[in-house]
Amino acid sequence: MNFEVQLKEKKLKVTPQRMAILNEIQRNGHLGIEEIYENIRKIYPAISLATVYKNITSLYEVNLLREIKAPYQKQKYELACDRHIHVACEKCGKLEDVHIELNDAMSRCSDMTNYKLHDVSAVFLGICSDCASKAK
Amino acid sequence: MNFEVQLKEKKLKVTPQRMAILNEIQRNGHLGIEEIYENIRKIYPAISLATVYKNITSLYEVNLLREIKAPYQKQKYELACDRHIHVACEKCGKLEDVHIELNDAMSRCSDMTNYKLHDVSAVFLGICSDCASKAK
DNA sequence: TTAAATGCAAAAAATTTGCAGACGT
DNA sequence: ACGTCTGCAAATTTTTTGCATTTAA
């Protein structure tokens, strides 16, 4: 996936700050605003937090980014390119992607509520295997 | 469900503010902090916003409340008594409960990730029937 | 009686805004 | 050249904290 092309499609300018944000999120999978800011600052010390906020907002509005809202966690952002859900470890806070479909649940849900549904934000909560083995 | 009893079980004192918060959430289903504060203030003008925050936190910690984190929405709280998921309307912002199980998805997810999972936070996104009919 | 809860005010944290100058197209 | 984007500082908004006082148990 080529960020330059995607940005141009969305009529957003290709600035170094914007590219840095996208690359940073791509590299890490899921990041909060403050983490994005701090990580980019290591390479690009002049970037301003306001710029990060503004970019997250605009990238979010054109659907290049997606918010992840998980219980017990701060808001995080990920690239919006593929659809998936998440698991979160309640011990260590780790968040991971899981590529499963919830289509059957979505259609059951649609039947029950009369909503036209097209997406889901789902986070399964539990204990990761690392934490489970440490606990013993 | 009797809030007094539940609070005592959790060793929390039964104060009028706390009862007002629980009743308010029960009455409305899902509310954000500011809404809880404003609604209670109508009946109980002396309540302080800090008290609302402190109570939400303590009620949340003893599992009487649950956070709902939905994309595009502020954080809301609901009574934690029964397990269910949500649908959100992207047009009008309405949030509704849906009582379906995601057990099959949870076990698939557990198999794929080696997490021991026990809960899920899920919000299906789409358009409610009201908004769908208006759109025509 | 005593530990916990409240309300207030102040502090801290998170997010947004306005604007002049810089930069991508 | 034009309109967008950036960075800064200030303004807002949201959340937390400290503490004296009150209150439930």
Q: pLDDT truncated to tens, each residue of chain A (136 aa)? A: 699 999 999 999 999 999 999 999 999 999 999 999 999 999 899 999 999 999 999 999 999 999 999 988 999 999 998 889 999 999 898 999 999 999 999 999 999 999 999 999 999 999 999 999 986 5
pLDDT of residue A134: 84
pLDDT of residue A1: 64
Query: Does at least one atom of strand D sit less than 7 Å from the CB of B53?
Result: yes
Query: Does at least one atom of strand D sit less than 7 Å from the CB of B15?
Result: yes
B19 close to B3: Cβ distance less than 8 angstroms: yes
Does B100 lie at the interface with A, CB-CB under 8 angstroms?
A: yes
Give nucleotides in strand D with any atom < 7 A to a protein C-beta. 4-10, 14-18, 23-25
| B65 vs A72, more confident | B65
In order of A94, A105, B102, B118, B133, the CA distances from A101 in angstroms are 21, 9, 12, 19, 28
Does B124 lie at the interface with A, CB-CB under 8 angstroms?
A: yes
pLDDT of residue B109: 97
Mean pLDDT in chain B? Answer: 94
CB distance B85–A123 less than 8 Å? Answer: no
Q: Indicate yes or no: pTM above 0.85.
A: yes
Comparing C-alpha atoms, which of A36, A23, A21, A127 is closest to residue A74?
A: A36
Region B105-128: mean pLDDT is 96
Tell whether the model's pLDDT for residue B135 goes beyond 80.
no
Phi, psi of B123 (to 5 degrees): -130, 120
Q: What is the pLDDT of residues B75-85, one digit of tens each?
A: 999 999 888 99
Q: Which amino acid is it at B36?
A: I
Whether the CA torsion B14, B15, B21, B23 is positive or negative: it is: positive
Comparing C-alpha atoms, which of B64, B50, B51 is closest to residue B16?
A: B51
A120 close to B125: Cβ distance less than 8 angstroms: yes
Nearest-by-CA chain A residue for B69: A69
pLDDT of residue A136: 58
Query: Of A87, A89, A119, A124, which to mutate for an interface test with B (greatest number of B Cβ within 10 Å)?
Result: A124
Comparing C-alpha atoms, which of A64, A110, A115 is closest to residue B90?
A: A115
Confidence of residue B71 (pLDDT cuts 50, 70, 90): confident
pLDDT of residue B1: 63
A68 close to A95: Cβ distance less than 8 angstroms: yes
Q: Where are the beta strands (DSSP E) in chain A?
A: 65-68, 76-79, 85-89, 95-98, 116-127
Confidence of residue B130 (pLDDT cuts 50, 70, 90): very high
